[in-house]
Amino acid sequence: MSLYEKIVNKEEKVAVVGLGYVGMPIAVAFANKVNVIGFDLNTNKIEQYKNGIDPTNEVGDEVIRQTTVEFTSDSTKLQEAKFHIIAVPTPVNADKTPDLSPIESVSITIGKNLTRGSIVVYESTVYPGVTEDICIPILERESGLKCGVDFKVGYSPERINPGDKVHRLENIIKIVSGMDYESLEEIAKVYELVVEAGVHRAGSIKVAEAAKVVENSQRDINIAFMNELAIVFDRMAIDTQEVIEAMNTKWNALKFYPGLVGGHCIGVDPYYFIYEAERLGYHSQIILSGRQINDGMGSFVADVIIKKIIHANKVVKQSKVVILGITFKENCPDTRNSKVEDIIKRLNEYEIDPVIVDPYADPAEANLEYGVDLLPFDMINDADCVVFAVGHDYFKDLTIVQIDRMFRDLPNNEKVIIDVKSILNKTELQEKNYSYWRL
């Protein structure tokens, strides 16, 4: 009997290691079909899951309360599973080189608890070669087992889009790969249990690894192009959004928009590609240039804030700037690698300490990550400048009256509104003579 058949018959278990925005939805999905162990080192997170709380907001508290996932922070429980899915983050270091310590650490943990006949599937974003050249040797060393003989390895890049309620695990085609034909078919069949859209069998592990970094690098480059246009159009006094609206009337327009590119995918993955390319003697040109443009957008927005404050006849150091949003994207509580931080840092250089409001973010995480204290929206009533940095639905639904209440008693032309996400009604605000700017 194959491992797939044993899993379906609930004679063997699936283990999902790393229960964040990617791993937790995977664990919950599989638990609807088979027995699942959900492992994470973060004991506080595990306790929240056990208490029916979903800190990621990906599936909701009710689903967590009803799931049969066996949540644990005890690594020895992994010995009960034969199919391991690794979903830990792969960030970059301060110098933008890959930080492989999380995936190396989890490989050690898995290796110590690996049993014969197991399959280990990595979902973490890596550059081509990491799974076979770095992870497999660690698994062999820690387990004392031989890869290809005692256990098999595969790679299936995560494609979940945090905060997206439309494109979910079940309706996104899953790329799968294995070290050989047998492992590829086993991995494919296991994922087909939960992925209704089906799977794409990649020709090799390296192909699957490359596909992940390339698909996000492609998006990064396209957004960088729009960001560069926004910078130039700002100097030309042309509204970028109006240009995009006109351009998008053509059937083959790609419909990308300028913005802050953060998070743990698009803002990180290109650096993995760049690193491996340079290690092989090729200096990236297009991808690296795109990264440099996108990494500079926070400072660009901050400089615009300062210009608009000056144009409103304000004293820069005495101006109160309120930033709405600290998460890396809309309707998502994840604050990791948020480029709003770059706006804050740049404003600090002008001796402005902005106030941050974000009803979606966890105050403790925001403080730990960026050293900021989040304030409730209702406490804001004396702003000189309000920056809509993240397009949360909460902010989109604000009326002009609610927006106006955030400002101190000033003429409208001295109330500066910076709309990074272009979520407000430009015509309405300009008719009321607000000092309005959008990216």
Single out the residue of 13, 148, 176 nearest to residue 140, CA to CA. Answer: 148
Return all residues near 281 (Cβ < 8 A) that are at least 6 apart. none
- Is 297:328 a contact under the CB 8 Å cutoff? no
Whether the per-residue pLDDT at 194 is higher than 70: the answer is yes
CATH class of domain segment(s) 205-295:
mainly alpha
Task: State the catalytic residue, choosing from 147, 265, 332, 385.
Answer: 265
- List helix spans (H) across 251-315: 269-279, 286-295, 297-311
Compute the average pLDDT of residues 294-311: 96
pLDDT of 306: 97
What does each C-alpha distance from 198 to 25, 176, 177, 189, 286 come to in angstroms?
Answer: 17, 10, 14, 10, 33
The topology under which CATH files domain 296-439 is: Rossmann fold (3.40.50)
pLDDT of 166: 65
80, two tokens: 């009960």
Distance CA 157, CA 131 (A): 11
SS3 176: strand
Length of the chain: 439
In 108-223, at which residue ranges do the beta strands (DSSP E only) sit? 118-122, 151-155, 174-178, 199-201
Single out the residue of 242, 223, 246 nearest to residue 233, CA to CA. Answer: 242
Q: Which residues does residue 17 pair with via DSSP β-bridges, in sequence order? A: 39, 86
| Domain locations along the chain | 3-203, 205-295, 296-439
Q: What percent of the chain has pLDDT over 90?
A: 85
Least confident of 98-112, 152-166, 245-259: 152-166
Is there a catalytic annotation at residue 265?
A: yes
**HSE (CB half, 13 Å, CA atoms) of 364?**
2
Return all residues near 94 (Cβ < 8 A) that are at least 6 apart. none
Q: Give residue 337's pLDDT band: very low, low, confident or very high (50, 70, 90).
A: confident
- φ, ψ of residue 213 to 5 degrees: the values are -70, -30
- Is 263:334 a contact under the CB 8 Å cutoff? yes
- Is 278:224 a contact under the CB 8 Å cutoff? no
197-234 confidence digits (pLDDT tens)? 999 999 999 999 999 999 999 999 999 999 999 999 99
Distance CA 356, CA 322 (A): 6
Whether the per-residue pLDDT at 196 is higher than 70: the answer is yes
179, two tokens: 């070290």
Compute the average pLDDT of residues 349-368: 93
Same fold yes or no, 3-203 and 205-295: no
In 89-143, at which residue ranges do the beta strands (DSSP E only) sit? 118-122
CATH number of the domain located at residue range(s) 3-203 in this protein: 3.40.50.720
Whether the per-residue pLDDT at 165 is higher than 90: the answer is no
Whether the per-residue pLDDT at 168 is higher than 90: the answer is no
Element (H, E) at 292: helix 286-295
Q: Give residue 164's pLDDT band: very low, low, confident or very high (50, 70, 90).
A: low
Q: Is the pLDDT higher at 391 or at 170?
A: 391
